Amino acid sequence: MGATMTQLIDPSAIHPAALELGRRFADAGHDLSLVGGPVRDLFLGRTALDLDFTTDATPDRTLEVVEGWADAVWEIGRAFGTIGLRKGRAQLEVTTYRAEAYEPGSRKPVVAFGDRLEDDLYRRDFTINAMALRLPDLELVDPHGGIRDLHAGVLRTPGTPEDSFSDDPLRMMRAARFAAQLEVEVAPEVEEAMTAMAQRIGIVSAERVREELVKLIRGARPRAGVDLMVRTGLADVVLPEVPALRLEVDEHHRHKDVYEHSLTVLEQAAALETGPDGPVPAPDFVLRFAALMHDVGKPATRRFEPSGAVSFRHHEVVGAKLTAKRMRALRFDNDTVKQVARLVELHMRFYGYGEAGWTDSAVRRYVRDAGDGLERLHRLTRADVTSRNRRKVARLAAAYDDLERRIAELSEQEELAAVRPELDGERIMAVLGVPPGPVVGRAYRFLLELRLDEGELGAEEAERRLRAWAAETL
């Protein structure tokens, strides 16, 4: 059983803005409580700059209380009872006690304000988020055993999970996200309800689902969150390309299926991220999501060869298209879509390097095609090696070490990451005496290929080659 009690909480662990705001509301005759994630994080030893509060004050009254105190105020959530504030570096949201639910078939919650803290806590998603700290007295209110469940590492709902997920189906995605972020296990009844109600996630807007998915992938244990989505059927609605991988056997016959391989690559890619000053600071969504999606083209490209082997020719190209399509459906921005899809498309480019070797021209093209994603591509390619054959793993690692060494050596000789023709468009037009148009584009591409094949030639030699090319082709 939970309880309302006075708990020994060090006031220095509470953000000063929260204590100040609590005193202002008390002086104005209103209740104010820190609630949800910030309270949970107090018991996890984490500090937060995004602080959520709940109050019996209406939004209009909240605005009166914070006038002259907050550095900035915004009212974008006013219709839902929420007033946003900024105090120094802290972001604060003050929400009137409320109850929230979806009408059948609706994508938007219907909001009704309440007048009791306990009722407000009952409508929250999980018990570990249904705790409040009354301010400024620091009285802990935990009617549903959130502290107990937090210590046990279990995710439960204050009421029945069926009622909770019916009120807001996005909570099923949050359950998967918390499994990844907080490394908690969902209670059996919660997973059962998620499985029975998974299709209901379809009424939630793509933008809200996307935000939860990003947090899940960036979590400490993303594999657990993805696997929960797949087990319960949430992924069939949100990310159907991933559960489809369970049906496929990968070409190396080293894994139970491509799905398990993809989860392993996700884990290994995350382990290769760097610190904040490194080239791929953790947690990196683009790298991790590309790792998860890198083989989604295999179901569509599977072929059974006469020898009995299974092939997946060009699955990286098909997979890049499927990945981009899914990300656009989830309303990702164009830049993120391009970055992830490009990594998926390029993840097979390295294979064969160790046996055949590459010319300097091929190395230049590898760098050019990867562009800003080169450091991520390095990590994705290394993470994609999940064989149990230690000799094979060592051979591939040595080959990729050699490729990175050659990239570094060539980079010392020329600015590889920004390979461009030695003549720009203006100079091309001047040399050939042509106006802007298709000829300039063709000449530019010729010079780019020349640059990639032979390296730096100098402007004078580039002009000579350009004139020779024009004499033969124009």
- Predicted confidence (pLDDT) per residue in 13-47, tens digit: 888 999 999 999 999 999 999 999 999 988 888 77
Q: Among 208, 138, 140, which residue's Cα sits nearest to residue 170? A: 208
Q: What is the pLDDT of residue 99?
A: 63
Residues 366 and 467 placed together within one structural domain of the fold? no
* pLDDT at res. 247: 64
pLDDT at 235: 98
Which pLDDT does position 352 carry in this prediction?
67
Section 216-224 average pLDDT: 97
pLDDT greater than 80 at residue 373: yes
- Number of neighbouring beta carbons within 10 Å of residue 26: 15
Provide the pLDDT confidence category of residue 450 given band limits of 50, 70 and 90.
confident
What is the rounded distance in angstroms from the CA atom of residue 314 to the CA atom of residue 318?
A: 7
Q: Are residues 34 and 114 in the same domain?
A: yes
Same-domain pairing of 273 and 415: yes
**Is there a single domain that holds both residue 425 and residue 463?**
yes
Do 432 and 412 have their domain in common? no
Q: Residue 369: pLDDT above 80?
A: yes
Mark whether 309 and 390 lie in a shared domain. yes
Mean pLDDT of the chain: 88
Question: Taking 90 as the threshold, does the pLDDT of residue 367 lie above it?
Answer: no
Annotate 181-219 with b (16+ C-beta within 10 A) or e (fewer). Answer: bbebebbeebbebbeebbebbeebeeebbbbbbbbbbbb
Domain for residue 245, yes or no? Answer: no
Domain assignment present for residue 253? The answer is: no
- Separation in Å, CA 34 to CA 40, 76, 158, 452: 10, 21, 18, 59
CA nearest 22: which of 120, 113, 115, 138?
138
- How far apart, in whole angstroms, are the C-alpha atoms of residue 98 and residue 122? 10
DSSP state letter for 274? B
What is the H or E stretch that residue 32 is in? Answer: strand 32-35
* Mean pLDDT value across residues 84-102: 85
Do 132 and 210 lie in a common domain? no
Average pLDDT of the segment spanning 275-290: 95
Mean of the pLDDT values across residues 237-265? 78
Same domain, yes or no: 283 and 215: no
Q: Please give the Cα distance from 172 to 175 (Å, whole number).
A: 5
Structural domain contains residue 30: yes
Confidence band (pLDDT; 50, 70, 90) for 284? very high
Asked if the peptide bond before residue 136 counts as cis, ω within 30 degrees of 0, the response is yes
The count of domains in the chain is 4
| Model pTM above 0.95 | no
Q: Is the domain of 218 the same as that of 139?
A: no
305: phi then psi, degrees, rounded to nearest 5:
-80, 155
Domain that holds residue 427: 420-473
Kindly state whether residues 176 and 138 are assigned to the same domain: no
Q: For position 449, what pLDDT does the model report?
A: 84
> Is residue 6 pLDDT above 50, yes or no?
no
At residue 105 the predicted structure's pLDDT band, cuts being 50, 70 and 90, is low
pLDDT at 374 over 60: yes
Same domain, 53 and 172: no
Does pLDDT of 254 surpass 50?
no
Share of the chain above pLDDT 70, in %: 90
Same domain flag for 339 and 394: yes
